[in-house]
Amino acid sequence: TVEDLFTSLNRHIHRSEYEQLSEYDQVVKLADQVLAVVPGDEDAIRCKVVALIKDDKIDDAVKVIDVFAKKFPVDFGFLKAYCLYRQNKLDEALASLKGLEKDSATMLLESQILFRQGKMDASVDIYQKLQKSKIESLEINLVAGLVSAGRASE
């Protein structure tokens, strides 16, 4: 049943946290089995896309997103923007961030995109806004941005 498939999915997702890359293949396989029964299942498609991203199969993730989004009204939001960033499609990535709610995830991604575009001051600005959010390793990126912006003294 679909419930059994999700139970297996959950098991493999938890195992993947302990770094067995092969678990991501299992997640994709099980998600496909759910989608074979329930073609528009949003949880299943999100599991599949996240597994592909975590398995570093960014091009595959984008293909899956695009094919699915043509058939079903699912907004992949941050996942799509992140994939575009990884594909170095920076303008498109920024554009797809525009419609999303501003939270620490979208702000971190925006800052990374701006950094790659050479807009160091704008990138640093975002890290400074995020400083109170206690994000792990944020200061590494803040310092990288400041140095690149010629503001190492700060």
Partner 1 sequence: NPIVLDLAYNSIDFPSIENRM
Binding site for partner 1 (CB under 8 A): 2-3, 6-7, 9-10, 13, 27, 42-43, 46-47, 50-51, 53-54, 78-79, 82, 85, 104-105, 108-109, 111-112, 115, 123, 135-138, 140-141, 143-145, 147-148
Pick the closer one to partner 1 by CB: 33 or 148.
148
Residue 144's binding partner, choosing from partner 1, K ion, none, with beta-carbon cut-off 5 to 8 A by kind? partner 1
For 12-16, the CB contacts below 8 A with 24+ separation are 13/47, 16/51, 16/54
Question: From the list 3, 19, 101, 136, which residue makes contact with K ion (rule: CB under 5 A)?
Answer: 19
Q: Output the DSSP codes for 34-48.
A: HHHHSTT-HHHHHHH
What tokens appear for 50 in the block?
A: 């996240």
* Smallest separation (angstroms) from partner 1 to the CB of 110: 9
Other beta carbons less than 10 A from residue 19's beta carbon: 7
